[in-house]
A and B are shown apart, each in its own frame.
Chain A
Amino acid sequence: GNSVTQMEGPVTLSEEAFLTINCTYTATGYPSLFWYVQYPGEGLQLLLKATKADDKGSNKGFEATYRKETTSFHLEKGSVQVSDSAVYFCAFSGSARQLTFGSGTQLTVLP
Chain B
Amino acid sequence: DADVTQTPRNRITKTGKRIMLECSQTKGHDRMYWYRQDPGLGLRLIYYSFDVKDINKGEISDGYSVSRQAQAKFSLSLESAIPNQTALYFCATSDLSGRPNTGELFFGEGSRLTVL
Interface residue tally for chain B (C-beta within 8 Å): 26
Q: Are B109 and A41 in contact (CB under 8 A)?
A: yes
Q: Which residues of A contact B108 (CB under 8 A)?
A: 43
Contact of B41 among A34, A93, A97, A103 (CB under 8 A): A103
Q: Give per-residue flags for B3-24: 1 if the beta carbon is below 8 A from chain A beta carbons, else 0.
A: 0100000000000000000000
In the complex, what's the smallest C-beta–C-beta distance from B31 to chain A, in angstroms? 8
Contact of A45 among B33, B43, B107 (CB under 8 A): B107
In the complex, what's the smallest C-beta–C-beta distance from A108 to chain B, in angstroms? 15
Best-surrounded residue of A30, A31, A41, A103 (most CB of chain B within 10 A):
A103
- Pick the interface stretch among B61-69, B70-78, B79-87, B95-103: B95-103
Interface residue tally for chain A (C-beta within 8 Å): 23
* Distance in angstroms between the alpha carbons of A49 and B103 in the assembled complex: 10
Contact of B107 among A41, A43, A93, A94 (CB under 8 A): A43
**Would A32 and B102 be within 8 Å (CB), given that A43-B90, A43-B110, A97-B96 are in contact?**
yes
| Interface residues, chain A, with chain B CB atoms under 8 Å away | 30-32, 34, 36, 41-46, 49, 51, 89, 93-94, 97-99, 101-104
